[in-house]
Structure 1
């Protein structure tokens, strides 16, 4: 007789956490099915259904609380999910230009429905910190913890970023933190080029309204977008560049490694340390 595998709460918890990080937040069936089983070939297949004797009359289908397939489609269409395209990118540019203050930009972005990421995220992740600061840091997109709290960099990478700021005498009372993408992509996937292009006008206007003395781009995506380059972060980091705002103002910009990358590659923390020392020196020079 085959012994059953003992129940392991820790493994189940890890599995559920994996599903949550992948964007799975709802059950589609009342009875769980093992899709990896050789005996399972999908719903409706001959192997996946119980065999019926020739003299057995078909049984009526049992009532189910599972919504009909058409219901989710109707729900999505009623929410007005937009197809990300050049039209939505043009709308974003026009709406971003209308913002005269950070508060207005926040309100405009909260009401913008031209990016499909808004409809899979739980919260708009706008910014955190002091908008009057002379130091602004920009990452790529929110993760799971940021999506839940509605603030950027509150997970493990955020805690590391806080320690990096503390090393140069800064915290969230005298630094301003945001992302290029204000909504979490499902399952933490990379934003598509069109999604990034739609969000670009908002982050560019955001920077223009804050007017920091020093801009820090965290990681490859934000660096390439805001510096309009195809050069990788490992070649750019540690060297001063300039971000050109839509209004023509140049802001000294330091590309550096993203805290999430440093958590995976702690041996490169010394490189980020060097970058933040340069940032501290630049801020002192500009404040003198």
Structure 2
């Protein structure tokens, strides 16, 4: 079992963000743990270990060595600085958003749009991602399924909803008589953010033209929105998925308005299996609307 102490700060932040997005307020363990005593013991152990580590001048802080007149070669090296002219990931700005909008609107098919997104270089998320995730599936049912952003499995496989979450999504689709081939699946963000963190406001803004153009090109009859981030993105609200789920709302993209229903993301259901009952209720509502004639 992975312990918190074995995780990097970025992994811990991503895990906490996931639990917060899923509506988790408290984290409990099977057995009570005296955190105060454990912290005191760790602090005492560090204080005992520090003098031993400082016994060798090679491990003394640089400022202490300098005060003792130690030669520069024995001091800790200065923090490396980026070389002049080195390229750093650009933060999306108004020009980048305009470029994304132009690239999206210029595409006349999903294939052209995928090529445009893969060639887009003005979003820093693309620099750390292995794959570009865009709409996949035939969409013969008139359904479009949209999640938040790719995770590590998606980035590795080059396909949205891979791994265990993908297997659960397959079962959810099967429950309403659909398959991956009969729907179109995509994500709001086409690139996996580093460490699975939440995309920033500017990053989300620059990706908006791409997902909206995908919706406009697919022209789905209904949209199933998965997860807190995607629901907030489309509905413009700040509530959790538990407050946003199960209610029909119209979303617009490129002059195309389509009814959308939000439910919990498969990854959230894997973390909290008790919520599967809520997702099942949402799927029943979605299926009922799906069986209603478009003009009914």
Distance 2:130 2:284 in 1: 36
Match of 1:90 in 2: 98
1:180 and 2:193 correspond: no
Contact 1:127 1:151 in 2 (8 A): no
Shift of 1:162: 1.1
Match of 2:291 in 1: 284
Moved more, 91-100 or 208-217: 91-100
Shift of 1:124: 0.9
Cα distance 1:217–1:45, how it changes in 2: closer, same or farther (>3 A)? farther
Match of 2:87 in 1: 76
Match of 2:204 in 1: 196
Shift of 1:106: 0.3
Contact 1:82 1:113 in 2 (8 A): no
Deviations 1:179-216 (A, max 9, x none): 10011110000000110010001000101101111101
Contact 1:132 1:210 in 2 (8 A): no
In structure 2, the gaps of 5 or more residues are 13-44
Cα distance 1:57–1:173, how it changes in 2: closer, same or farther (>3 A)? closer
Match of 1:206 in 2: 214
Other structure's SS at 1:286 match: coil
**Residue correspondences, number:** 253
Deviations 1:109-164 (A, max 9, x none): 00111110000111112233224441111111011111111111102222111111
Q: CA RMSD in A?
A: 3.6
Distance 1:45 1:244 in 2: 63
Higher helix share: 2
Other structure's SS at 2:145 match: strand
Contact 2:135 2:185 in 1 (8 A): yes
2:252 to 220, 244, 248: 244
Other structure's SS at 1:103 match: helix
1:268 and 2:275 correspond: yes
Cα distance 1:98–1:45, how it changes in 2: closer, same or farther (>3 A)? farther
Distance 2:287 2:116 in 1: 33
Q: Normalising by structure 2, what TM-score?
A: 0.73
Shift of 1:76: 3.5
Distance 1:60 1:232 in 2: 54
2:243 to 231, 235, 245: 235
In structure 1, the gaps of 5 or more residues are 1-9, 24-35, 62-67
Contact 1:134 1:212 in 2 (8 A): yes
What pairs with 1:34-45 in structure 2 (closer than 5 Å)?
39=50
Contact 2:58 2:74 in 1 (8 A): no
Contact 1:106 1:126 in 2 (8 A): yes
